Amino acid sequence: MEKQLLDGHVVSKEIRDDLKNRVFKLKEQGITPCLATILVGDNSSSETYVKMKGNACEKIGMKSIRIHLPEQTTTEELLEQIQRLNDDTNVHGILLQHPVPEHIDERLAFETISLEKDVDGVTSAGYGQTALGFGKFPSCTPAAIMEMIHHYQIKVSGKFAVVVGRSPILGKPVSAMLLNEDATVTTCHSYTENLPSILKQADIVIAAVGKPNFIKGEWLKEGVIVLDAGYNKGNVGDVDFDSCYQKASAITPVPGGVGPVTITMLLKQTVIAAEEKLNTMNQIA
């Protein structure tokens, strides 16, 4: 059986090359796409992620604004910062880095982000639109998974897809997106009984459970397509790669699979937000 390694770097480069041209055209018309990232507290991993996103913006000609708030920031103070960015016409996308300190109402903060600037797909309205099939900005990891499926021309319609994980920014939205493309979808989670027997039937497996090496090759059928959205300590995904590789016809590596495309989708959705802003301005003019 021929095996295909689904390389996220290849997909990411193709998208970013296109985005560079789109950013250049926007700049010619007086708009520089701008992503604002908010980090609350001193989580070193979060600091690294925010820095990576800012660097990625700069490489394609976008602008990035980093707002670093102290650990003791209150919910009200955070909401004021978000509202200020909502009102700033030069900001096209807003990202609140997860997690925030426990004393902050994170859901309320997410909901304060303007839908037009919710390029990370964290608002309930954005999620609802994604589920209904007309969302502009789905959560970035589900968007990356679907982008890889489209790039590699993986047939989804009529296939049985099993999503392992039900988080509101990964498992749930990617289940809805697969369903919208005519897959038959089962969403599994920590309470699912007989998980191996369900996975054994799957044509497509999306691993999004947050447990290293959790899904085993013996649980899968020959020829399955595996997209691993997990990223755990030690640079390992949610599937046991070696054993799953033996069964799969196509599989994403970790690192180098879904991850690079996830950041790229954040850039893409910010560029789209800037393009829509320009269209609105032209219509008013």
- Could you tell me if 104 and 38 are in contact, meaning their C-beta atoms sit under 8 angstroms apart? no
- Could you tell me if 127 and 172 are in contact, meaning their C-beta atoms sit under 8 angstroms apart? yes
Decide if 18 is catalytic: no
Q: Which pLDDT does position 279 carry in this prediction?
A: 87
Instruction: Quote the CATH superfamily of domain 140-259.
Output: NAD(P)-binding Rossmann-like Domain (3.40.50.720)
Determine whether domain 30-116 maps to CATH 3.30.1330.10.
Answer: no
Beta strand residue intervals within the chain, DSSP E: 4-5, 34-40, 63-69, 93-96, 160-164, 184-188, 204-207, 224-228, 248-251
Could you read off the pLDDT of 186-224 as tens digits, one per residue?
Answer: 999 989 999 999 999 999 999 999 999 999 999 999 999
> 97 pLDDT exceeds 70?
yes
32-41: average pLDDT:
97
Query: Do the domains at 30-116 and 140-259 have one common CATH topology?
Result: yes
Q: Which pLDDT does position 165 carry in this prediction?
A: 97
Could you read off the pLDDT of 225-256 as tens digits, one per residue?
Answer: 999 999 898 889 999 999 999 999 999 999 99
Q: Which pLDDT does position 100 carry in this prediction?
A: 95
- Residue 115: how many CB atoms within 10 A of its CB? 14
Decide if 172 is catalytic: no
Mean pLDDT of the chain: 96
Decide if 97 is catalytic: yes
Q: Which pLDDT does position 2 carry in this prediction?
A: 77
Catalytic-role residue among 7, 63, 97, 117: 97
* Amino acid identity, position 217: G
Catalytic-role residue among 7, 81, 118, 120: 120
Could you read off the pLDDT of 66-95 as tens digits, one per residue?
Answer: 999 999 999 999 999 999 999 999 999 999
- For the chain, what percentages of helix, strand and coil (3-state, to nearest 5) are there? 45, 15, 35
- Could you tell me if 144 and 170 are in contact, meaning their C-beta atoms sit under 8 angstroms apart? no
Rounded to whole angstroms, the Cα distance separating 48 from 149 reads: 28
- Could you tell me if 171 and 208 are in contact, meaning their C-beta atoms sit under 8 angstroms apart? yes
Half-sphere exposure of 215 (CA within 13 A, CB side): 38
Distance between the two ends of the chain, CA-based, in angstroms? 58
Rounded to whole angstroms, the Cα distance separating 267 from 77 reads: 27
> 40 pLDDT exceeds 80?
yes
The domain spans of the chain are 30-116, 140-259
Q: Would you say the pTM of this structure is higher than 0.75?
A: yes
